[in-house]
């Protein structure tokens, strides 16, 4: 079977899945959660260590061309998960062809040493060099220039459509732009000097995050003007993204931030006080996230004792609750106004015999949400390893679906 025949076969299978009643049902479940009229909690699995499963026949790539292999990987991964451990995954009703968008850079290149994990995934350890040890280093930062190669993008669109466009819609997709200032500052500086300077050099750190906020908003403006933003997606960093309150752009008009989710986080602030977290992140996020239609805040940082400052954000709809947060405290403080993105501990699928503690963890979160009238999605993510055994994800998925369905 040549590349074209292989891709047409996979596209046909994918097309059958997106037209299934199950996919329609999943999309509605996602929408209901984000609209705060939950039918039942949504179960999602993302950030999967696909490299560990490369020997699986259904995941082996056979296409010779580079572009064709990228398409094949997309189809094979989606179809494998749909069959083996779908949860409530929703599939895009088209094949996405991504626009060629280039950002010139803001004057700072990350300088780091890395060490690869031994699990066959992309996970690695990082050691960063401090590039802002002196106040004058702030002058290195500048606005970046966004360029869009429309011709190359349209060529890619025509290439994919020429292979399987009669079987599956093909769509040219833009990008999203979300601020994560302190994740980036940690890469520019390293964690220790960054945290120390919140106390030792607060004026400088305010100036640094302030300048990054300005750069972010200018980049967002350029992406909007170049019509490079994307409004159609089924995932908001692993959580459900479909929402009725996000109006679609009028036909023929450009996508603007008001049509999109904005997402903020400050993972490295896990041990920072609520007062310092508010002063150094939330106050800047308020400005950065103001243009967006809805806002989701949180990643891996525990926020149960910081709900009061997070709710200062404009258009806030969803809050992340991590394995290191207390879901009871978080749910009580959130109430039904906000959606909880609960993130179970991925360590339970990294080793055998993890289902019982995983079940206990999910039951606690679901009970907290029921008591407080909260819509929620259960999102297993950051999966560094399953020790090469995808069946652990299947076992976890079946357990989680039983819990949310009340079986």
pLDDT, tens digit, for every residue of 113-148? 888 876 666 778 888 999 999 999 999 999 999 999
Cα–Cα distance measured from residue 348 to residue 354, given in angstroms and rounded to the nearest whole number:
4
Residues 279-316: pLDDT tens digits?
A: 999 999 999 999 999 999 999 999 999 999 999 999 99
**Whole-number Å distance between alpha carbons of 338 and 311:** 9
Q: How many percent of the chain have pLDDT more than 90?
A: 91
Structure-token pair, residue 105: 């850079």
Q: What is the mean pLDDT of residues 274-280?
A: 98
Residue bearing tokens 């109430």: 335
Query: Can you point out the beta strands (E) in 19-145?
Result: 42-45, 95-98, 100-103, 112-116, 124-128
State how far the Cα of 182 lies from the Cα of 212, in Å rounded to an integer. Answer: 10
Helices 3-18 & 150-164, crossing angle to 10 degrees? 90
Calculate mean pLDDT across residues 35-43. Answer: 97
Residue 407 has pLDDT above 60, yes or no: no
CB of 278 closer than 8 Å to CB of 357 = no
At 119 the pLDDT is 64
Tell me what the mean pLDDT of segment 165-183 comes to.
95
Cβ–Cβ under 8 Å, residues 144 and 103: yes
Average pLDDT over residues 373-394: 96
Beta-bridge mates of residue 250: none
Rounded to whole angstroms, the Cα distance separating 266 from 313 reads 14
Higher pLDDT, 116 or 329: 329
Residue 132, Cβ neighbours under 10 Å: how many?
Answer: 22
Question: Per-residue pLDDT averaged across 198-225, rounded?
Answer: 98
Please state the rounded mean pLDDT for residues 336-351.
96
| Alpha-carbon gap, residue 153 to 145, rounded angstroms | 18
Q: What average pLDDT does range 189-213 have in this prediction?
A: 97
Q: Domains along the chain?
A: 3-405 (3.20.20.210)
Helices (DSSP H) in 264-405: which residue ranges?
Answer: 274-277, 283-289, 307-310, 327-334, 355-372, 391-405
Beta carbons of 222 and 146 less than 8 angstroms apart = yes
pLDDT at position 168, please? 97
Mean pLDDT, rounded, for 316-344: 97
The answer to whether 384 and 48 are in contact (CB under 8 A) is no
> Which residues are 341's β-sheet partners?
320, 377
**What pLDDT is recorded for position 4?**
96
- First and final CA of the chain: distance in angstroms? 44
**Quick check: 248 pLDDT over 80?**
yes
Rounded to whole angstroms, how far apart are CA atoms 42 and 70? 29
């Amino acid at each position: 079977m040549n590349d074209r025949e292989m891709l047409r076969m996979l596209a046909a299978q994918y097309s059958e899945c997106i037209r299934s009643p199950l996919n329609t049902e999943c999309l509605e479940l996602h929408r209901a959660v984000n609209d705060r009229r939950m039918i039942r909690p949504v179960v999602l699995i993302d950030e999967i260590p696909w490299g560990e499963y490369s020997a699986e026949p259904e995941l082996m790539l056979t296409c010779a061309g580079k572009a064709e292999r990228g398409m094949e990987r997309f189809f094979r991964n989606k179809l494998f998960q749909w069959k083996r451990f779908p949860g409530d995954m929703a599939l895009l009703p088209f094949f996405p062809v991504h626009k060629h968008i280039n950002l010139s850079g803001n004057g700072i290149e990350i300088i780091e040493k890395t060490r690869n994990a031994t699990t066959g995934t992309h996970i690695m350890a990082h050691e960063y060099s401090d590039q802002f040890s002196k106040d004058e280093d702030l002058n290195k930062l500048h606005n970046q220039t966004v360029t869009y190669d429309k011709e190359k993008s349209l060529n890619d669109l025509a290439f994919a459509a020429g292979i399987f466009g009669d079987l599956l819609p093909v769509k040219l997709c833009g990008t999203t732009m979300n601020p994560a200032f302190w994740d980036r500052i940690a890469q520019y500086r390293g964690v220790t000097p960054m945290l120390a300077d919140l106390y030792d050099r607060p004026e400088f750190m305010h100036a640094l995050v302030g300048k990054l906020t300005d750069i972010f908003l200018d980049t967002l403006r350029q992406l909007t003007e170049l019509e490079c933003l994307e409004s159609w997606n089924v995932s908001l960093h692993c959580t459900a993204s479909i929402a009725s309150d996000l109006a679609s752009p009028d036909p023929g008009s450009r996508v603007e931030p008001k049509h999109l989710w904005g997402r903020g986080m400050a993972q490295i602030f896990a041990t920072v006080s609520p007062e310092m977290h508010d002063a150094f992140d939330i106050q800047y996020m308020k400005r950065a996230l103001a243009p967006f239609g809805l806002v989701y805040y949180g990643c891996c940082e525990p926020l149960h004792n910081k709900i009061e400052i997070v709710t200062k954000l404009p258009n806030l709809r969803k809050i992340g609750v991590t394995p290191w947060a207390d879901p009871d405290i978080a749910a009580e403080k959130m109430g039904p106004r906000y959606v909880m993105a609960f993130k179970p501990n991925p360590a339970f699928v990294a080793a055998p015999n993890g289902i019982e503690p995983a079940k206990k963890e999910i039951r606690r979160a679901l009970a907290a949400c029921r008591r407080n009238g909260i819509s929620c999605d259960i999102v297993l993510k950051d999966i560094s390893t399953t020790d090469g055994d995808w069946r652990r994800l299947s076992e976890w998925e079946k357990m989680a679906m039983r819990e949310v369905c009340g079986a």
